[in-house]
Amino acid sequence: MELRPVKINGLILHHPYFSGTKRTGSEERLKNDPLLPLYSIDQMFDLSLPEGADHDHEYCNPLVNGGSKNIDLMKSMGWRVLVTGCFDDPLMDAGLECAKMLEGKGVQTVKFFSDGYHAMEVFDASMSDPLYDIIKDFIYCRSNEYKS
């Protein structure tokens, strides 16, 4: 059996952890979320971003300056991107805006947003089947968009 390098054809952004200096509607609406309150989101970025960077650094806010230069590379390589999220997740709006930005730049983007909260599959395994089905369909290129 001949081994060959793995060829990456896409990216799965499951509950992407994006934010920015300007608050989104979901962040404002769910700022006191028991699982992921706004102060926790801010704290995580403060601990992980380069020293002196604000929350509009490209690692935190993929929309800054029109998006990463790597998006054109992703498009030219024919990548597909799956973006998932839940309506009761404070980070939902940022994930959805990222998906819209990718689509606007011509990247084939699949969105799956459903009822639930951030990382719900980790806390309740019964909620994981729909996600696994979407991921399988995405990997096997069986659909373009899902909505619950």
Q: What is the mean pLDDT of residues 21-46?
A: 96
pTM of the model: 0.88
pLDDT tens for each residue of 73-110: 999 999 999 999 999 999 999 999 999 999 999 999 99
Report DSSP letters for 115-133, one per residue: SS-TTHHHH-GGGSHHHHH
Question: Which domains does the chain possess?
Answer: 10-147 (3.40.50.1820)
Asked if residue 55 has pLDDT above 60, the reply is yes
Alpha helix (H) residue ranges in the chain: 25-29, 38-48, 70-76, 92-104, 120-123, 129-139
Q: Which helix (H) or strand (E) holds 85?
A: strand 80-86
- Amino acid type, 78: G
pLDDT class of 122 with cuts at 50, 70, 90: confident
Average of per-residue pLDDT across 122-144: 85
What CA–CA distance (Å, rounded) separates 90 from 95?
Answer: 10
pLDDT class of 26 with cuts at 50, 70, 90 = very high
